[in-house]
Amino acid sequence: MRRRVLDWYAVHARPLPWRDPETTAWGVFVSEVMSQQTPVGRVEPVWREWLARWPTAGDLAAESPGEVVRAWGRLGYPRRALRLREAAVAMVEHHDGEVPQDEDALRSLPGVGAYTAAAVAAFAHGRRTVVVDTNVRRVLARTLQGRAQAAPALTAAESRLAAEVVPQDPETSAVWNVAVMELGALVCRARSPECEACPVRDLCAWVAAGRPADDGPPRRGQAWHGTDRQVRGAIVQTLRESPDAIARAGLEHAVCTRLRLDPARHAAQVDRCVGSLVEDGLVEPVDGDRLRLPA
């Protein structure tokens, strides 16, 4: 199974810029933070702009938080932009401006969890780690366990299984980690998997069992329109587009207009979301009731 997946990846891997051998560890780090819960197609142009503007951790650390949020564009979850800058500051202060190689040191950086630490150690530094995302979990659940989907949340058993299949050789293990993720992203998709194109189809326990349906709890899609997450994003985008601070009342009106929300019903929600963004450091009050991105 390992050999077939690795051979498949050698032919079918997408030519993403952060996979170029010449990409720095900082470039890989930025790509991993940007790719959290965000499609690769949206990440690539922003990643290129960021690396051209801030080619090192020191360059980003010296930038203002507001400009970093502004440059984040529409990648979503703008708090990640602030955490990325904070991680850059920590690298400058504690790691001579370099991306740490050790997983524990990586996890100590702001905004870096177990997945990102393992991915950066593997893909930036060639360390033997266990990189487990939703794609990896789904591929292993199907091929080795005969299940249509992985558990709703990562389990200890899934982590142990993923660790067992990672090759011992560090260089090969790094390629395996990205190869099995790529297989899940391109072929073994959650919906409409392309089993005919899968390099391990004849080894897959799920295919051998007749591709049984998922027997777990129903997976409901997340609502979007009118949610706090949508409102927060609209607030940040409105401030990003304005060269000057905006009065709170004007901001509430602009957000409701942008999202086609009834101001009478949603003014309190917008106000609450503004407050949460101020607490998160993504919005800064100035001159009484005016608001802007952080300086």
Residues tagged active-site: 32
Residue 139 has which token pair? 């591929």
Pick from 56, 131, 53, 54: nearest CA to 95: 56
Query: How many CA atoms within 13 Å lie on the side-chain side of 141?
Result: 29
Cα(206)–Cα(139) distance, integer angstroms: 10
Bridge-partner residues for 285, per DSSP?
291
Per the listing, tokens 């009050």 go with 285
Cα(76)–Cα(230) distance, integer angstroms: 10
Residue 244 has which token pair? 């000057």
Cα(40)–Cα(38) distance, integer angstroms: 6
The amino acid at residue 191 is: R
Q: What angle do CA 128, 129, 134 make, to 5 degrees?
A: 140
